[in-house]
């Protein structure tokens, strides 16, 4: 019986949620899930992977919620967790080959003429975003989609401000080049600034 007591006392108290912490965490999840889901989608480029990324990030934050909730911005901590998780997933899967039964068709051709231009633009932009290297994609998404400052983005990516600047600059240059190559894309260069 003493082994059970010793085993329980070996669990660090920081990872045990306080009695009211679950309600606090649940309300924070409800309030932040829409924004974080969009970030996850932009980081992964796939709805299923975005859901997996978001759930994994929430699972990592929950045991530390008492500590994380005391931060000025728990969402900034979540950004960092999501970027780190996505990077580790990418590193694990970059040598895998993906086979499909069919040649992918252009999905935006099925829309109505009224919304086809907007759909084409968003599909071209998402395809160009998916083609970016991980760090450039993270820098562009955090800086220009989440509207974080360079310092906040550097903190979320665990790198220097200079690295954020160069990755964001290169990422935007690749996006501009990709969008300039598609004549049906009505996106102007000034839209990406």
For residues 136 and 174, the answer to whether their CB atoms sit within 8 Å is yes
Scored b (16 or more CB within 10 A) or e, 1-12 reads eeeeeeeeeeee
Residue 55 corresponds to which tokens in the numbers above?
Answer: 């759930």
Alpha-carbon gap, residue 167 to 73, rounded angstroms = 24
* Cα–Cα dist 163/99, whole Å: 34
Predicted confidence (pLDDT) per residue in 153-163, tens digit: 998 889 999 99
Look up residue 113 and give its two tokens. Answer: 């003429």
Residue 61 pLDDT > 50, yes or no?
yes
pTM for the structure as a whole:
0.48
Q: Identify which of 121, 165, 126, 119 has the alpha carbon closest to the alpha carbon of residue 142.
A: 165
- Give the lowest-confidence range in 112-116, 118-122, 147-151: 112-116
Indicate whether 73 pLDDT > 60.
Answer: yes
123: pLDDT confidence band, cut at 50, 70 and 90? confident
CA dist 141 and 128 (Å) reads: 12
* pLDDT tops 70 at residue 14: no
The pLDDT value recorded for residue 167 is 93
pLDDT at 43 > cutoff 60: yes
């Amino acid at each position: 019986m003493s082994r059970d007591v010793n085993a329980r006392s070996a669990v660090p108290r920081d990872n045990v949620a306080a009695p009211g912490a679950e309600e606090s965490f649940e309300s924070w999840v409800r309030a932040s899930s829409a924004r974080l889901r969009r970030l996850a989608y932009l980081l992964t480029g796939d709805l299923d992977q975005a859901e997996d990324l978001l759930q994994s990030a929430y699972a990592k934050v929950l045991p530390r919620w008492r500590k994380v909730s005391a931060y000025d911005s728990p969402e900034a901590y979540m950004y960092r967790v999501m970027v780190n998780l996505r990077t580790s997933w990418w590193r694990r899967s970059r040598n895998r080959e993906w086979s499909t039964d069919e040649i992918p068709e252009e999905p935006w051709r099925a829309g109505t003429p009224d919304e086809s231009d907007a759909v084409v633009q968003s599909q071209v932009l998402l395809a160009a975003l998916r083609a970016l290297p991980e760090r450039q994609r993270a820098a562009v998404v955090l800086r220009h989609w989440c509207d974080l400052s360079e310092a906040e983005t550097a903190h979320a990516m665990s790198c220097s401000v200079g690295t954020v600047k160069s990755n964001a600059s290169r990422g935007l240059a690749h996006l501009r080049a990709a969008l300039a190559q598609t004549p049906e894309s009505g996106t102007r260069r000034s839209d990406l600034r």
